[in-house]
Chains A and B, each alone.
Chain A
Amino acid sequence: MSLKTKALTKSIWVFHLSTGSCNNCDIEILDLLTPRFDVERFGITLVGSIRHADALLVTGVVTKKVAPRLIKVYEQAPKPCLVIAMGACGCGQGIFRDGYNTYLPVDKVIPVDAYVPGCPPKPEAMILGIVKAVEKLKGKDRSSLRG
């Protein structure tokens, strides 16, 4: 494993982005910081800028207004950057699939490494999703990445 990926998998700095959602997944992601789940003890930290991030957590359906920004954010992310699509919306637009303001699902706009379905996914499932994505990077590719 290269030096870069080794450093990456020691502690994982995560940037969160909503592309047009009901915000439930976003709140559950915030919940990960709070005492019950406290992901910081696993070395998972949420950061305020994509330029500091090792992983990108994307929620939402990708509305037309947000699509260009999603691409821009991904381009600004230092590579390698793990992309994790959270929630039913992130995985495939969910119940809003046929909406007139929905663009394409996340994985048709940027490459996605892991999917965490659920509406919203339980915080435990989100942690599992991040962990599985990291393990993929380490090379321990489990047969299914569906969290």
Chain B
Amino acid sequence: MSENKKRQTIIPIGPFHPLQEEPEFFKLHVDGETVVDIEINLGYNHRGIEKLSEGKSYDQVTFLVERICGICSNAHPFAFSIAVEDILGIQPPERAQFIRTIIAELERIHSHLLWLGLAGHFLGYNTVFMWAWKYREPVLDIFEAITGNRNHYGMNKPGGVRRDIDNNDIPSILKMVNDLVLAVDMFKGAVLDDPVLHARLKGIGILKKEDAIEYAAVGPVARASGVAIDIRKDEPYAAYDRIKWNVIVEQDGDVYAKTQVRILELYQSIEIIRQCLKKLPDGPIDVKLKEITEGEGIGRIEAPRGECFHYVRSDGSNSPVRHKIRAPSYMNVPTAKASIVGQQIADATIILASVDPCYCCTERLSVVDAKSGNPVLDSEALIKMSQEKTKKLWKS
């Protein structure tokens, strides 16, 4: 029995048996080697969180929304906390603002590294996957040291943060962050300066600037197409306007540009964390809130994938009356239509990955023949095609 099993280094993407009849997350319609259309089907992860929020107290909601997505688990409680603070018209204390910034930027680093690893895998650079995720580990270690958990940190709450950063931990965080610069230099060289990857990624999956604007795209997807929006600069929150840093914008809108933006943002995040740690003021870490008065508030932050938007309506009771949650991918995933139609199937996985949807969703990929509607390929085959294309470029 064991001889028949194929041994591969695989990311366990594609959990479902290929060629199933039910709708997949991404369904590509192809004519020969060209993608002519894409259907996007959501709902597999829909857990009715907005409704659940209405039955929870404001404090409980932060733990609930943390679990919307495991990668940006800080982004949602952060935006929610700001929305509640908007209702009350208050700001948390300075120390909390800096701690919030540090946690948010650490999250950006771990999220971009995660993405880099997956992108590497799709392209056939499994070393990039292993290295990117290896360098993610020290970031998760810092999270565990500061917050008690590698993921789902439970740091943000309306009024401030739940836990303080021990000043004695600052040198080790600084060291980790400084070590990371060397790793990012290596990725930059391995990915951005690699002529094979230039050939592989440049001109692929272009999202034109006018499309980025029409789809109201956000985050790195928008910034890679020349749309210079970043909530940290546009409507500064936490400590971002007290730090010197740059918004990374590229113009070409292709997969290469999206990769560039994410890698260069790593350097900016490292710089922001360094400055925050140096400037971390003393003082309380929260404002004690007695009640949430009647009103409405909006909180938005720049999550790793873009603007994370929360709207909260309060009627003076202990639970939100309405809590609208809009994750950045909600605006970005539809842009896949604009960037993938007309492209080759071998590039499909990397184009979809460049939009950076919830990674679990990229797996449910199916390909059907545009004319007959018959399934032709599954996600495993698509990933292989992508990896093969890179191999051909290595050889040439």
Interface residues of A (CB under 8 A from B): 7, 13-18, 20-31, 33-36, 45-52, 60-61, 63, 65-66, 68-69, 72-73, 76, 94-96, 98-102, 119-120, 122
Closest to A27 in B: B70
Is there an interface contact between B51 and A99, defined as CB atoms closer than 8 Å?
yes
Inter-chain contacts of B43 with A (CB < 8 A): 63, 65, 101
CB contact under 8 A between A45 and B46, given known A15-B12, A24-B152, A99-B51: no
Is there an interface contact between A76 and B17, defined as CB atoms closer than 8 Å?
yes
- Smallest distance from the beta carbon of A96 to chain B beta carbons, Å? 4
* B22 at the binding interface (Cβ < 8 Å): yes
Is there an interface contact between A99 and B49, defined as CB atoms closer than 8 Å?
yes
Say whether chain B's binding surface is mostly helix, strand, loop, or mixed.
loop
Inter-chain contacts of A26 with B (CB < 8 A): 70, 359-360
Is there an interface contact between B114 and A27, defined as CB atoms closer than 8 Å?
yes
CB contact under 8 A between A23 and B2, given known A15-B15, A36-B134, A95-B64: no
* B290 at the binding interface (Cβ < 8 Å): no
Is there an interface contact between B71 and A23, defined as CB atoms closer than 8 Å?
yes
Is there an interface contact between A65 and B70, defined as CB atoms closer than 8 Å?
no
In Å, the complex CA distance between A94 and B14 comes to 25
Which one of B44, B71, B129 has the greatest number of beta carbons of chain A within 10 Å? Answer: B44
Some 29 contacts from A to B, beta carbons below 8 A apart, are: A7-B2, A13-B5, A18-B15, A21-B360, A22-B70, A24-B73, A24-B151, A25-B70, A27-B71, A27-B114, A28-B151, A33-B11, A36-B137, A47-B10, A48-B13, A49-B17, A49-B380, A61-B47, A63-B43, A63-B44, A65-B43, A66-B44, A69-B20, A69-B22, A73-B15, A73-B17, A98-B55, A99-B48, A99-B51
Known contacts A22-B73, A33-B11, A35-B134; can you find 14 more A-B pairs with CB under 8 A?
A20-B46, A22-B45, A23-B358, A24-B71, A26-B70, A27-B151, A34-B137, A36-B137, A48-B380, A50-B17, A63-B46, A99-B48, A99-B51, A100-B51
Mark B78-95 against chain A: 1 for CB-CB distance below 8 A, else 0: 000000000000000000
In Å, the complex CA distance between A69 and B23 comes to 11
Say whether chain A's binding surface is mostly helix, strand, loop, or mixed.
mixed
In Å, the complex CA distance between A15 and B11 comes to 10
* B150 at the binding interface (Cβ < 8 Å): yes
* B52 at the binding interface (Cβ < 8 Å): yes
Inter-chain contacts of A61 with B (CB < 8 A): 47
Is there an interface contact between B5 and A63, defined as CB atoms closer than 8 Å?
no
In Å, the complex CA distance between A99 and B49 comes to 7
* B371 at the binding interface (Cβ < 8 Å): no
Closest to B46 in A: A101
- Smallest distance from the beta carbon of B65 to chain A beta carbons, Å? 10
* B181 at the binding interface (Cβ < 8 Å): no
Mark B224-264 against chain A: 1 for CB-CB distance below 8 A, else 0: 00000000000000000000000000000000000000000
CB contact under 8 A between A99 and B52, given known A48-B10, A120-B70: yes
* B68 at the binding interface (Cβ < 8 Å): yes
CB contact under 8 A between A24 and B70, given known A95-B64, A122-B150: yes
- Smallest distance from the beta carbon of B102 to chain A beta carbons, Å? 21
Closest to B7 in A: A45
In Å, the complex CA distance between A29 and B1 comes to 26
Within 8 Å by CB of A16, from B1, B15, B114, B137, lies B15
In Å, the complex CA distance between A47 and B43 comes to 25
The 3 closest A-B pairs by CB, nearest first: A24-B70, A99-B48, A34-B133
Inter-chain contacts of B48 with A (CB < 8 A): 96, 99-102
- Smallest distance from the beta carbon of B74 to chain A beta carbons, Å? 12
* B6 at the binding interface (Cβ < 8 Å): yes
Within 8 Å by CB of B12, from A20, A46, A72, A100, lies A46
Is there an interface contact between B360 and A34, defined as CB atoms closer than 8 Å?
no
Inter-chain contacts of B17 with A (CB < 8 A): 49-51, 72-73, 76
- Smallest distance from the beta carbon of A67 to chain B beta carbons, Å? 11
Is there an interface contact between A47 and B70, defined as CB atoms closer than 8 Å?
no
* B216 at the binding interface (Cβ < 8 Å): no
* B16 at the binding interface (Cβ < 8 Å): yes
Inter-chain contacts of B129 with A (CB < 8 A): 34
In Å, the complex CA distance between A50 and B45 comes to 21
Closest to A100 in B: B48
In Å, the complex CA distance between A135 and B52 comes to 39
Is there an interface contact between A95 and B67, defined as CB atoms closer than 8 Å?
yes
